[in-house]
Homo-oligomer: A and B are copies of this chain.
Amino acid sequence: VWIVPNLLFNRVAFIGIGLIGSSMAKRMLKEGMAKELVACSRSSDTRQKALDLGLVSKTYEDPAKAVKGADLVVIATPVGSYSDIAQSIASVIDLNTIITDVGSVKKAVVDSVKPYLQFPNKFVPGHPIAGTEFSGPEAGFSELFEGRWTILTPDMQTDEEAVNKIICMWEGMGSKVEIMSSEHHDMVLAITSHLPHLIAYTIVGTATELEEDLRREVMKYSASGFRDFTRIAASDPIMWRDIFLNNKEATLDVLQRFSEDLTVLQKAIRRSDGEALEDLFSRTRAVRRDILEL
C-alpha cells in the first residue's frame, strides 16, 4: 500500500455538489486528500455533470446511501435543506464519521442538524468565505479557497480530533482557518455579507421595476456602480433565500442600523449639508485603506 502524505479521509461524501462542493472535490483530488469521493444530488443533471467532470466516482440520489461508509460527510446544499438531510443520514452514519458543512449561517445550521445526530460531537460546522456569482458543479475551481478565510464554529462538546482534521482539510485547500461561536459568526456575516447582498438585491430589483425605456438605459450605462451590484445580485436565489430565512435576527438588526444611517444621509442631501456628506465619505474612504492594509 502506498502512503499518500496528504491523505486525510478514505471516503468523502458530498451532499450537494454545486460551486463550493465541486471546488472542494477538485482540490481534494489535486492534493490526494481522499481515496474516494462520492456525491449526492436530487438533480439527475447535476449528478451527471459531477461524473462527467470527473469530480466523483459515484453519485446518489438518496443521502442515506451516499454517506454509507464515508468517514467524512460534507453538507453543501442550501441551508434550508439541512434538517431533512440530517434526518435521513442520522441512522446510517457511525462513530467514525465526521460531518461538516459549508453553510453561510451557523446558528440555525447547528440547531437543525445536531438534534438528529447520534454523535453530535462529530459535527464540525464550517463556512468558507469564498464564492462567485456562478453556481453548479461546472462553476467550481480548485483555487477558490486560496488565501480566503474559513470559519469553524465547534462548541464545547465537539470532538477535538474531528476539528483538527477539518482544520487540516481547509489548510490543505489553501484556506486560513478561524474558530468562533456560531452566534458571533452570524452577526459578523450579517454585516459583511448578508446585508450587502440584501441591498444589492433590492437596488437591482428597484431597477427592474422601471419603465421599459429607462430600464434599458440603466442596463446600457450600468458601468458606474450598478454593475457591481448586479454581479452580487446574480448569486444563487435558493441559497440566499435560505440564508435570510435562517439568519433573520442578525440580518434585521443590521438592516435596522443601515436604514437609520440611510435616513441621516437622505436628510443631509435634502438639506444640502455638504459638510456631513464630505465627513462620511472621508471616513468610508479610510475603511478601504484599512482593509487593503490587512
Question: Which residues of B are found within 8 Å of A262, using beta-carbon distances?
Answer: 198-199, 202, 255, 259
In terms of DSSP, what is the predominant structure of the interface of chain A?
A: helix
Of B191, B205, B282, the contact of A210 (CB 8 Å cutoff): B191
Question: Which residues of B are found within 8 Å of A204, using beta-carbon distances?
Answer: 284, 287-288
**A278 with B191, Cβ < 8 A, contacts A227-B291, A228-B196 known:** no
Q: Chain B interface: which of A1-9, A153-161, A246-254?
A: A246-254
**Is there an interface contact between B238 and A218, defined as CB atoms closer than 8 Å?**
no
Question: Which residues of B are found within 8 Å of A136, using beta-carbon distances?
Answer: none
Instruction: State in angstroms the CA–CA spacing of A230 and B196 once bound together.
Output: 11
Question: Which residues of B are found within 8 Å of A197, using beta-carbon distances?
Answer: 225
Interface size class of A (residues with CB under 8 A): 35 or more
A261 within 8 A of B: yes
Contact with B along A94-125 (1 / 0, CB 8 A): 00000000001000000000000000000000
**Is there an interface contact between A232 and B225, defined as CB atoms closer than 8 Å?**
yes
Identical subunits present: 2
Nearest chain B CB to A101 CB, angstrom units: 16
**Is there an interface contact between B225 and A252, defined as CB atoms closer than 8 Å?**
no
Nearest chain B CB to A277 CB, angstrom units: 4
Contact with B along A191-230 (1 / 0, CB 8 A): 1111111111111111111100010011111111111111
Question: Which residues of B are found within 8 Å of A149, using beta-carbon distances?
Answer: 220-221, 223
**A203 with B245, Cβ < 8 A, contacts A189-B224, A234-B285, A237-B285 known:** no
**Is there an interface contact between B229 and A196, defined as CB atoms closer than 8 Å?**
yes
**Is there an interface contact between B240 and A277, defined as CB atoms closer than 8 Å?**
yes
